[in-house]
Chains A and B, each alone.
Chain A
Amino acid sequence: MSEGPDERIEVGEGRRNFLKIAVAGAAALAVGGAVGYYAREGEVTALKKRVEELAAQVGVEVGPVLEENLNIYNWTWYANLALVEQWAEENNIHLVYDFFEDLDTAISTITTGAAQYDLTVISDNEAQELWEGGYLREIDLDKIPNFKYVPEEFKGLPYDPDNTYSIIYSYGTTGIGYNADFVPEGITAWADLFEVDNPDSVIRRHAGKVTMMRDSTETLAAAAIYLGYDIDTTNESELQRIADLLIAQKPYLYGYVQTEDYMNELPVGQRYYISHAWNGDIAGIVYASDEYEVYIETYYDNIKYVVPEEGAVVWYDNFVIPKNAQNIEAAHAYINWFLDPVVSAIHTITIKYPYPAGLKYVPVEIKNDPMIFTPSELADRLYLGRALTPEERAIREQYWNMVMTA
């Protein structure tokens, strides 16, 4: 299992065949395990273990000389940790898998330069701001052969056209989640949440039962989309209208809440049942996902997610290597392992966020769930944020504070 790079080139062909077999086998097991979950709950653990074993074998494929340590900094609930821990064990890496709970803290930690993380996950425009600021190290794609499994539409995205500094981790949209038990008529558009002058609008009929995100970027963007502005507008008269709209909406809201809050409340529906939300979090509720377990059956069928007609924010999270990283080889190896189709597929099945490289081996139920894999026909109404300067953010924050303290 510890072939050097040279040997790997020689046996490349055979290896690839093995890889195919392993991949197919593991995928079959993953699906089988999932199906088995319905019938024989007890066996799913054993099946999962075999999937992991196979995946780990595939993972060793990367194998050049790795450092002994690897410090990863990632969101909570964003990878199957059992699998990650096993990878570290197989590669004799002392892995520190650290969590952050919001991107702002993570970025501050990285940019001050004190903490040394080797690999972290940062979203699109923020990644651009980081590499433009010189905080990221170039990624050596030669060391990541599995990059070829990344579908073309996730390569060379606008924030990093040549994948010099970033490689896709996951992606999704910010739309509206709701509990269909309480909103049988459904929700289709931002207008449902912003037409406060129309007494028959969703927000008026469900006054006090709607939440927006307590996140300035997302909530300002939602209002901007409804008004037909650029989501990252810094035009003060536009921002003023956005603020006015949000202030007009405020009396009809339950409040501005955080992920943890709506994830717990939506299924119950007592405090509120319509939330401005991230798709993967809603999927997380629907499948009651867990970072150590593979669940594939839906748990709360009454929770729906919609990408509004007017459009929505799309975001891409990316692997990036901070400038002051120490364990570069191991970081590359981890990315390569993660991009392995089977590994990505298992992470997707577990967490219910889409890891694009694994699309092929994800069970049909999940692959076809628009909540998890955003359908490509929506592409023309999705808006990607752009990099902002601190001054631009300061202006936006000013209007956000106006809404918050209104």
Chain B
Amino acid sequence: MKLFDKILKAYTYTVLALIYLPIVILIIFSFNESRSKVVFTGFTLENYYSLIGNYRVWDSFYNSIWTGAVVTVVSVVLAILMAYGVSRYEFSGKTLIDSIMLIPIIIPEIVEALTLLVFLVIIGIELSPYTVIIGHVAFDISFAYVVVKARMAGYDPQFEEAARTLGADEIRAFTKVTLPILAPGIAAAALIAFLESYDDFIKTFFTRPPGFMTLPVYIWNMASRRGFPLDLNALATFVVAISLIFAYIRNRIERRVY
């Protein structure tokens, strides 16, 4: 058993190392002197200076983050409602709803993007950052739904019933008992929803107003003609650093609590 645990641990660290490998490569080449991303020719901080002055990168990074955040909140809230309704209530057409909820995940993005665009034109909605958000939420609800529902499946409704027997009304039982139990599932759903939005570019490309760039749109534009500038490697370093610092601080705070 002990041996098994050790193997498992070693395995976990190996997988982690592999997950980080491409990121490490990006970071190493952020210090590369020449434009190459394959051969390292010499050390420089030039890419970092250039990143600071590259307003297009910052602008698109900012757009990605804020639209992603709004999309995540809206789609996770809607997905929780849906998952809760489907798990708790008996009604005809439940199975149908389950299948229908898969369609936004299945549909090839280009079909979804262009038909939404046609629809927006027909009803006369002008493109804005909000149309990008609307488009992202439409597929993100489904992603979040699948995850929240998986968490809900293993959860025993007795807790909630117990709470109700003890006098809590349904809404309170939901907020005080069900939601906290669902929390890890919700967190996972939120991360997935955010990622799907943050990484999306086909749908963004068609539903964005002129000049509104998100990071993937910027990268795709730059990369498909000349390869992206190493500024983006510098940005990657920045993002990983922030993320790890955040994880570290969080952990310190939690340890104090324990």
Contacts and interface: CB of A to CB of B under 8 A. Distances in A.
Contacts of A105: 205-206
A99 B224 contact: no
A117 B221 CA distance: 17
A5 interface: no
Nearest to A284: B226
Interface stretch (A30-38, A71-79, A185-193, A397-405): A71-79
Interface string B191-235: 000000000000001111111010000001111111100000000
B127 interface: yes
B22 to A, nearest CB: 18
A109 B220 CA distance: 16
Contacts of B207: 114
Interface stretch (B2-10, B75-83, B85-93, B114-122): B114-122
Interface residues of B, number: 24
A71 B221 contact: no
A76 B210 contact: no
Contacts of B126: 114
Nearest to A109: B206
B225 A115 contact: no
Contact of B227 (A99, A109, A115, A264): A264
A116 B210 contact: yes
Contact of B210 (A98, A112, A113, A259): A98
B210 A263 contact: no
A99 B226 contact: no
Interface in B87-115: 114
Contacts of B127: 114-116
Given A76-B221, A108-B206, A114 B117 contact: yes
B121 A77 contact: no
A73 B127 CA distance: 15
A263 B211 contact: no
A176 to B, nearest CB: 19
A71 B126 CA distance: 15
Q: Is the interface of B mostly helix, strand, loop or mixed?
A: helix
Interface in A100-159: 100-102, 105, 108-109, 112-117
A101 B225 contact: yes
B223 A260 contact: yes
Given A73-B210, A101-B220, A114 B121 contact: yes
Interface in A252-289: 258-260, 263-264, 284
Contacts of A284: 226
B227 A260 contact: yes
A272 B150 CA distance: 48
A130 B247 CA distance: 52
A75 B225 contact: yes
Contact of A76 (B117, B205, B208, B225): B225
Contacts of A109: 205-206
Contacts of A75: 225
Contacts of A65: none
Given A108-B114, A116-B210, A263 B227 contact: yes
Nearest to B116: A114
27 contacts: A73-B210, A75-B225, A76-B222, A76-B225, A76-B226, A77-B225, A97-B211, A98-B210, A98-B211, A100-B221, A101-B224, A108-B206, A112-B118, A112-B121, A113-B121, A114-B120, A114-B206, A115-B127, A115-B208, A115-B209, A259-B225, A259-B226, A260-B225, A260-B226, A260-B227, A263-B225, A284-B226
Interface of B: 36, 114, 117-118, 120-121, 126-127, 205-211, 213, 220-227
Closest 7 CB pairs of A and B: A96-B211, A71-B210, A101-B224, A99-B221, A101-B221, A76-B225, A112-B117
Interface of A: 71, 73, 75-77, 96-102, 105, 108-109, 112-117, 258-260, 263-264, 284
